[in-house]
Chains A and B, each alone.
Chain A
Amino acid sequence: GDSVTQMQGQVTLSEDDFLFINCTYSTTWYPTLFWYVQYPGEGPQLLLKVTTANNKGISRGFEATYDKGTTSFHLQKASVQESDSAVYYCVLGDSNNRIFFGDGTQLVVKP
């Protein structure tokens, strides 16, 4: 079945560091891929979405490239801020409008 794998449970950085969160997916077709961000006490918020393979999504300084060859959708940001501290979920959407969340990566950014 469809699934998403995020291996990094937590990433700890200092402000202005480069962020890279790994995500790989497994599916038999071309899904829509999302990154959602969840702040404490809130529901997940859409960060970015990509519908076509080998395209890039960009939002708020974050970017992710949908790579069909490596079945990856890694999240990157050139320079993180303390306000970026949150849980980041890689999400796969199938044709039945189901979405599958990865385990999430807790980002901690120290001032």
Chain B
Amino acid sequence: DPKIIQKPKYLVAVTGSEKILICEQYLGHNAMYWYRQSAKKPLEFMFSYSYQKLMDNQTASSRFQPQSSKKNHLDLQITALKPDDSATYFCASSQDPDWGNQDTQYFGPGTRLLVL
């Protein structure tokens, strides 16, 4: 059974619209993250949440807003979509962020977003 679920798998949106990417983890982890992978580029860290609180934000644009309704959920709301937002968005989780660099992040399968 998949331990990290991301929905939808594929998403097509029009410029200017708003979408929500869903992430749920069933690993019992306390920290969750969002990464973006644009075409032929490495994964880029966006946000980290620990115990449902924002810990780190490396995303310049306020159009990207994480939302955590439950400990094992971290959704990503994207407003005023632009074609440059087209990418695969990966959710990840880890056991305990207080472990610092001893912690290991596990990734979901990703949501592939295409903005037309």
Q: Which residues of A contact B (CB under 8 A)?
A: 31-32, 34, 36, 41-46, 49, 51, 89, 93-104
Given contacts A96-B100, A97-B31, A97-B48, contact A44 B55 (CB under 8 A): no
B:62-115 near A, CB below 8 Å: 90, 92, 94, 97, 99-110
Interface residues of B, Cβ cutoff 8 Å to A:
4, 31, 41-45, 48, 50, 55-56, 58, 90, 92, 94, 97, 99-110
Contacts A97-B94, A101-B43 given; does A51 touch B101 at CB 8 Å = yes
Interface of A is mostly: loop
Which of B4, B42, B92, B101 makes the CB contact (< 8 A) with A32? B101
Q: Is the CB of B108 within 8 A of A46?
A: no
Q: 23 A-B residue contacts at CB 8 Å?
A: A32-B101, A32-B102, A34-B104, A42-B109, A43-B109, A44-B107, A49-B104, A93-B101, A95-B100, A95-B101, A96-B100, A97-B50, A97-B99, A97-B100, A97-B103, A98-B45, A98-B48, A98-B58, A99-B45, A100-B45, A101-B43, A102-B42, A104-B42
Q: Which residues of chain B come closer than 8 Å to A96, judged between CB atoms?
A: 56, 100
* Number of residue pairs A-B, CB distance < 8 angstroms: 59
How far apart sit A101 and B106, CA to CA, in the bound complex (Å)? 14
Known contacts A32-B102, A101-B44; 11 additional CB pairs below 8 A are: A41-B109, A43-B107, A49-B104, A51-B101, A95-B101, A97-B31, A97-B94, A97-B100, A97-B101, A98-B48, A98-B56
